[in-house]
Amino acid sequence: MESRSEELERYKRIDLVAYASTRGYVVDRKASSRHSTVMRHSNGDKLGISKAPSGTFMFYNYKGSESGTIIDLVQAIDGGSLGDVRKTLRRFDGSVVDVPSSTLPFPLQPSQHDASQVLANWMKAKPIGNGHPYLTMFRGISETTQSDPIFKDRIRIDQRGNMVVPHYNRSGLCGFELKNGNQNRTTFTGFSPGGIKALACSRPRDTDTEMVICETAVDMFSLAELEGTENRRFFSTAGQISAMQAECLRSAAQQMPPGSRILLALDNDEAGRNLAQRIRAEIDKCGLPIEDYFPNIEGADWNDVLSQSRPSDEPIPRLD
């Protein structure tokens, strides 16, 4: 006879895209790929759904605070106990009714981490020399900030001219953020093929007393430009917080000198505040005081603040 734990593990392999579609979520085909399906709801929810090599489906709500497996999604939608969730999912696990087919023309494929590909692509990227033109020309981040010793080899440029910022986990280099733009207000945001998001980070110093957590690498460099780098250790999560990233943040907090504090320097909007809450919940027991450190402009990120701090005759082209 199947145990409760075995039943729950089986539910986690239900096609989460198919299930979410029965709850009013619609696939955003333009934003989806073979490794990640994006679904939107009329209530404003935006889900990112992926499939682990083990066959477990996972989701992340970009507009809310929920993440996890299909079990967490059912609880987020319906509330109730774990027993209530089991009753709900028994109608969708294939033993009672057939699971609806995927709304995409291809099945969601497991996302695999290819460490060798990440390393090879990182090695092909070149040092920025006097600064990356995207950061200098369109984000207002000076060559002085980009060449600060704490950011040494933390910014490279690839063959397409993209800004390349490495991410590290406990095993080392695991991926990198990609960003670019031009005077025509065209932007590109991406992440390394085969990579996984962990933490972009500055080089640590024994004198650091503030652990500054930002949403993106551009925000990280913008805050450094605005307020300097003295006594600060910067991090970027690339706009999310996974279980692995939370583990990395807890490890980083443990390595801060005694008397340090953590600043959640995230965007001053609903998504940024939600992300701050999720990060706080993950690292709340790290032993360091945690403070919100939002921009003082509603709806702004730290690059918005940097842009508005410049003289009116030296505007930074706004790239969204």
Question: Each residue of 262-320: pLDDT tens digit?
Answer: 999 999 999 999 999 999 999 999 999 999 999 999 999 999 999 998 765 444 444 54
- Candidates 76, 52, 71; CA nearest to 9 is 71
Residue-wise pLDDT tens digits, 157-200: 999 999 999 999 887 899 999 999 877 767 889 999 888 899 99
Beta bridge partners of 236: 200, 214
Which tokens is 297 given? 């402009």
* pLDDT at site 44: 84
Phi/psi of residue 234, nearest 5 degrees: -100, 145
CA atoms within 13 A on the CB side of 224: 33
C-beta separation of 104 from 32 below 8 A: yes
What's the average model confidence in pLDDT over 145-160?
Answer: 95
* pLDDT at site 47: 85
* 184 DSSP 8-state letter: T
Which tokens is 176 given? 């990198």
C-beta separation of 88 from 71 below 8 A: no
Residue-wise pLDDT tens digits, 98-132: 334 445 555 666 656 677 788 888 999 999 988 99
Which tokens is 73 given? 């999604």
Q: Rounded CA gap, 296 and 116, in Å?
A: 42
* 66 DSSP 8-state letter: -
Flag whether pLDDT at 62 surpasses 80.
Answer: no
| Strand (E) or helix (H) holding 279 | helix 270-283
